[in-house]
Amino acid sequence: MSTKVVVPRKKRLSEGLTVTQKVFIRSRNGGATKIIREHYLRNDIPCLSKSCTKCQSIVVPDAKNELPKFILSENPQVIANIGKHYVVVDTNIVLLAIDLLENISCFFDVIVPQIVLDEVRNRSYPVYTRLRTLCRDSDDTKRFIVFHNEFNEKTFVDRLPDETINDRNDRAIRKTCEWYAQHLKDYGINIVLVTNDRLNREAVKKESKEQGYFTKSLYEYADLLSNADEIKELIPNVDNYAESKELLPEDKSEVVFPEYYQTSRVMGGLRSGVLYQGNVQISEYNFLEGSVSLPRFSKPVLIVGQKNLNRAFNGDQVVVELLPESEWKAPSSLTLDSEHFDINDNPDGQGEEDEFNRNGAEAVISDKQRRLLAKEAINAQKSKKVQPTAKIVSITRRSWRQYVGQIAPSSVDDKTNGIQNVFVILMDKCLPKIRIRTRRAQELLGKRIVISVDSWPENYKYPLGHFVRDLGDVESTQAETEALLLEHDVEYRPFSKKVLECLPSEGHNWKAPVKLDDPEEISKDPLLPKRQDLRDKLICSIDPPGCVDIDDALHAKKLPNGNWEVGVHIADVTHFVKTGTALDAEGASRGTSVYLVDKRIDMLPMLLGTDLCSLKPYVDRFAFSVLWELDDNADIVNVNFTKSVIKSREAFSYEQAQLRIDDPNQTDELTLGMRALLQLSIKLKQKRLDAGALNLASPEVKVHMDSETADPGEVEIKKLLATNSLVEEFMLLANISVARKIYDAFPQTAMLRRHAASPSTNFEVLNEMLQKRKNMHISLESSKALADSLDRCIDPEDAYFNTLVRIMSTRCMMAAQYFFSGAYSYPDFRHYGLAVDIYTHFTSPIRRYCDVVAHRQLAGAIGYEPLSLDHRDKHKMDMICRNINRKHRNAQFAGRASIEYYVGQVMRNNESIETGYVIKVFNNGIVVLVPKFGVEGLIRIENLTDSAEDAVFDELEFKLSFKPKTGDKVRDVHVFEKVDVQVRSVLDPITSKRKAELLLV
Q: What is the DSSP string of 82-134?
A: TEEEEEEE-HHHHHHHHHHHH-TTS--EEEEEHHHHHHHHHH-HHHHHHHHHH
* Best CA proximity match to 159, nearest among 16, 43, 23: 23
Q: What is the pLDDT of residue 991?
A: 72
Q: Which residues pair with 754 in a beta bridge?
A: 817
Task: Give the residue, 249 or 478, on which the prediction is more confident.
Answer: 478
* 734-762 residue pLDDT tens: 999 999 999 999 999 999 999 999 888 88
22 with 39: CB under 8 angstroms? no
Distance of alpha carbon 841 from alpha carbon 850, whole angstroms: 6
Strand 83-89 with 109-113, pairing: parallel
**Does the pLDDT value for residue 706 go beyond 70?**
no
**Does the pLDDT value for residue 63 go beyond 80?**
no
Q: What is the pLDDT of residue 159?
A: 86
* 871-924 residue pLDDT tens: 999 999 999 999 999 999 999 999 888 888 888 777 777 788 889 999 999 988
CA distances from 541 to 552, 558, 559, 608, 666 (A): 6, 19, 21, 18, 17
* Phi–psi pair at 960, nearest 5 degrees: -120, 125
Q: What is the pLDDT of residue 717?
A: 63
Q: What is the pLDDT of residue 381?
A: 37
CA distances from 56 to 52, 86, 156, 721 (A): 7, 19, 21, 65
Question: 43-235: which CATH architecture?
Answer: 3-Layer(aba) Sandwich (3.40)
Distance of alpha carbon 580 from alpha carbon 557, whole angstroms: 39
**Does the pLDDT value for residue 714 go beyond 60?**
no
The lowest-confidence range among 384-388, 581-585, 732-736, 808-812 is 384-388
**Residue 376: pLDDT band with limits 50, 70, 90:** low
* 527-540 residue pLDDT tens: 999 999 999 999 99
Q: What is the pLDDT of residue 670?
A: 95
Q: What is the pLDDT of residue 235?
A: 87
Listed ranges 153-167, 336-350, 721-735; the one with the highest mean pLDDT: 721-735
**Residue 64: pLDDT band with limits 50, 70, 90:** confident
Q: What is the pLDDT of residue 274?
A: 87
Calculate ∠ Cα 665-669-673, nearest 5°.
100
CA distances from 76 to 83, 106, 141, 142, 582 (A): 9, 11, 11, 11, 27
Task: Give the residue, 304 or 299, on which the prediction is more confident.
Answer: 304
> Helices marked H in 406-459 — which ranges?
none
**Does the pLDDT value for residue 12 go beyond 60?**
no
- Mean pLDDT of the region 779-800: 91
Containing 630, the helix (H) or strand (E) segment is strand 620-630
Report the amino acid identity of residue 863.
G
Mean of all residue pLDDT scores within the chain = 86
Strand 564-571 with 552-558, pairing: antiparallel
Q: b/e map of 926-939 (b: 16 or more CB within 10 Å)?
A: bbbbbbbbbbbbbb
Q: What is the pLDDT of residue 884?
A: 96
Each domain of the chain, given as residue ranges in start order, spans 43-235, 250-352+364-474, 497-676+693-749+837-891, 911-1000
* 212-245 residue pLDDT tens: 789 999 999 999 999 888 888 888 876 444 444 3
Distance of alpha carbon 524 from alpha carbon 527, whole angstroms: 9
**Residue 30: pLDDT band with limits 50, 70, 90:** low
755 with 834: CB under 8 angstroms? yes
479 with 404: CB under 8 angstroms? no
Residue 947's CB is within 10 A of a number of other CB atoms, namely 12
| Entry pTM | 0.83
Q: What is the pLDDT of residue 697?
A: 67
Residue 95's CB is within 10 A of a number of other CB atoms, namely 17
**Residue 123: pLDDT band with limits 50, 70, 90:** confident
Q: Which residues pair with 743 in a beta bridge?
A: none
Report the amino acid identity of residue 230.
E
Tell me whether the CATH fold assigned to 43-235 matches the one assigned to 250-352+364-474. Answer: no
- Mean pLDDT of the region 263-274: 90
274 with 372: CB under 8 angstroms? no
* 927-964 residue pLDDT tens: 999 888 888 888 888 888 888 888 899 988 999 999 98
* Phi–psi pair at 683, nearest 5 degrees: -70, -40
Q: What is the pLDDT of residue 698?
A: 66
Strand 143-147 with 109-113, pairing: parallel
* Phi–psi pair at 293, nearest 5 degrees: -85, 125
**Does the pLDDT value for residue 380 go beyond 50?**
no
Q: What is the pLDDT of residue 109?
A: 95
* 823-879 residue pLDDT tens: 999 999 999 999 999 999 999 999 999 999 999 999 999 999 999 999 999 999 999
Q: What is the pLDDT of residue 299?
A: 77
Residues in the chain: 1001
Q: What is the DSSP letter of 831?
A: B
Q: What is the pLDDT of residue 298?
A: 74
CATH number at 911-1000: 2.40.50.140
Q: What is the pLDDT of residue 21?
A: 60
**Does the pLDDT value for residue 350 go beyond 50?**
no
24 with 34: CB under 8 angstroms? yes
CA distance from start to end of the chain: 75
The alpha carbons of the chain give a radius of gyration, in whole angstroms, of: 32
Q: What is the pLDDT of residue 988?
A: 76
Q: What is the pLDDT of residue 72?
A: 94
Containing 986, the helix (H) or strand (E) segment is strand 978-987
Q: What is the pLDDT of residue 373?
A: 44
Helix, strand, coil distribution of the chain in percent, nearest 5: 35, 25, 40
* Phi–psi pair at 304, nearest 5 degrees: -120, 125
Residue 272's CB is within 10 A of a number of other CB atoms, namely 8
Topology adopted by domain 250-352+364-474? OB fold (Dihydrolipoamide Acetyltransferase, E2P) (2.40.50)
